[in-house]
Amino acid sequence: MPANLTADFIKARNKLREAKTPEDKLAALEEMLATIPKHKGTDHMQADIKRRIAKVRMASAGSKKGKSSSYEHIPKDGAGQVVLVGPPNSGKSTLVAALTNAKAEVAPYPFSTIIPVPGMMSFEDINIQLIDLPPLAPDYTESWVYSLIRACDLVLVVFDVSDGELIQDEYEELVSQLEEKNIHLGSHRSKDSDDRIRHIPARILLTKSDLADGESIRQAREWLPLPALSISGLTGAGLEEMKKVIFDALDVVRVYTKLPGKKPDMTEPYALPVGSQAIDAVKAVHREFSDRLKYVRIWGSGRFDGQQVPSEHVLEDGDIIEIHLRKLATNP
Asked if residue 66 has pLDDT above 50, the reply is: no
How would residue 63 be classed by pLDDT, with cut points 50, 70 and 90? low
Q: Give the lowest-confidence range in 52-56, 189-193, 311-315.
A: 189-193
pLDDT digits (tens, 9 = 90+) for 235-282: 888 999 999 999 999 999 999 999 988 999 898 899 999 999 999 999
pLDDT of residue 244: 95
Per-residue pLDDT averaged across 190-218, rounded?
A: 83
Asked if residue 330 has pLDDT above 70, the reply is: no
Per-residue pLDDT averaged across 181-200, rounded?
A: 83
Pairing type for strands 81-85 and 154-160 reads parallel
Residue 90: other Cβ atoms inside 10 A: 27
pLDDT digits (tens, 9 = 90+) for 148-187: 999 999 999 998 888 766 788 888 989 999 999 999 999 8
Asked if residue 146 has pLDDT above 80, the reply is: yes
Domain ranges for the chain, please list them: 7-63, 66-250, 252-325
Name the β-bridge partners of 207: 160
CA gap 128, 255 in Å, rounded:
15
Q: What is the DSSP letter of 63?
A: T
Q: Which CATH superfamily is domain 252-325 in?
A: Beta-grasp domain (3.10.20.30)
Burial track 2-32 (b if 16+ CB lie within 10 A, e otherwise): eeebeeebeebbebbeebeeeeebbbbbbbb
Burial track 178-198 (b if 16+ CB lie within 10 A, e otherwise): beebebebeeeeeeeeeeeeb
Per-residue pLDDT averaged across 129-147, rounded?
A: 84
Per-residue pLDDT averaged across 111-125, rounded?
A: 81
Q: How far is CA 38 from CA 111, 155, 204, 277, in A?
A: 21, 35, 31, 60
Counts for the chain of helices (H) and strands (E), in that order = 11, 12
**Mean pLDDT, the chain, as a whole number?**
84
Pairing type for strands 252-258 and 265-273 reads antiparallel
pLDDT of residue 68: 47
CA gap 243, 246 in Å, rounded:
5
How would residue 40 be classed by pLDDT, with cut points 50, 70 and 90? confident
User: Which class in CATH covers the domain with range 66-250?
Assistant: alpha beta
Asked if residue 321 has pLDDT above 70, the reply is: yes
Asked if residue 69 has pLDDT above 60, the reply is: no
Residues 6+ apart with CB under 8 A from 109: 30, 33, 49, 50, 53, 54, 89
Per-residue pLDDT averaged across 295-317, rounded?
A: 93
Residue 199: other Cβ atoms inside 10 A: 17
CA gap 316, 90 in Å, rounded:
36
